[in-house]
Amino acid sequence: MKVCILMGSPRKDGNTAALLTPFCEELKNAGTEIEIHWLYDLDIRPCIACRACQKDWTTFGCAQKDDGQILFQSIMASDLILLATPIYSWYCTPPMKALLDRMVYGMNKYYGEEKGPSLWSGKGVSILTTCGYRPEKGIDLFEEGIRRYCKHSGLCYLGSHAERHLGYGTVFMDEEKAARVRAFARGLLESV
């Protein structure tokens, strides 16, 4: 199995990265191939709704020449797409939002003169996130958005795992969080 991790955090030593470490260790122990893309390190421009991507139903086809094509190829080669992001103002970070907008058009050939296929239909999608509020009030809007995104795109939504940070003066990562995220990883392996 291959997992494409889209990492939306700007901080490589932040809370989301700390949560991702035991998650990846669990996957690697099971023999899973992992590819991590740090979105803040990439050139991901926002969608401009030009619909150039709708002309060719076999490829991403975006007119913008940035790192979107690399991400398209990685996503297409994967079985599971993990959206790893801190929650900023009840949603994912800006580069992840820009990428999600680009992929919904480039992957779904629904918006041209005729309705075409979803190139990524059937792939699994999951969320790994950190937030400052209780998860039921911190990630609920992002999770609902991704549920709808998956339904629209023919993707299989496989659930989320969120951990709360209680504040800047507190330690985020501990053994309980590591154990919970490892269990989440094992559950994803069973469901893909």
pLDDT for 101-126, tens place per residue?
Answer: 999 999 999 999 999 999 999 999 99
Residue pointed to by tokens 């990883």: 185
CATH number at residue 97: 3.40.50.360
Which of 126, 125, 46, 134 lies closest to 90 in space, CA to CA? 134
In terms of DSSP H, where are the helices of 77-126?
94-107
Find the distance separating the first CA and the last CA of the chain, reported in whole Å. 8
CB 83 within 8 A of CB 124: no
**Model pLDDT for residues 34-90, shown as the tens digit of each residue:** 999 999 999 999 999 999 999 999 999 999 999 999 999 999 999 999 999 999 989
Tokens at residue 17, please?
């990265």
**Model pLDDT for residues 73-88, shown as the tens digit of each residue:** 999 999 999 999 999 9
Query: What's the structural domain count of the chain?
Result: 1
Q: What local confidence, expressed as pLDDT, does residue 74 receive?
A: 98
The four Cα atoms 27, 29, 34, 36 give a dihedral, to 10 degrees, of 80
CA dist 16 and 38 (Å) reads: 12
For the question of whether the overall pTM of this predicted structure is more than 0.75, the answer is: yes
CB 57 within 8 A of CB 116: yes
Domain extent, residue 51, equals 2-191
Reported confidence tier of residue 192, pLDDT bands at 50, 70, 90 = confident
Alpha-carbon torsion (190, 118, 96, 165), positive or negative: negative
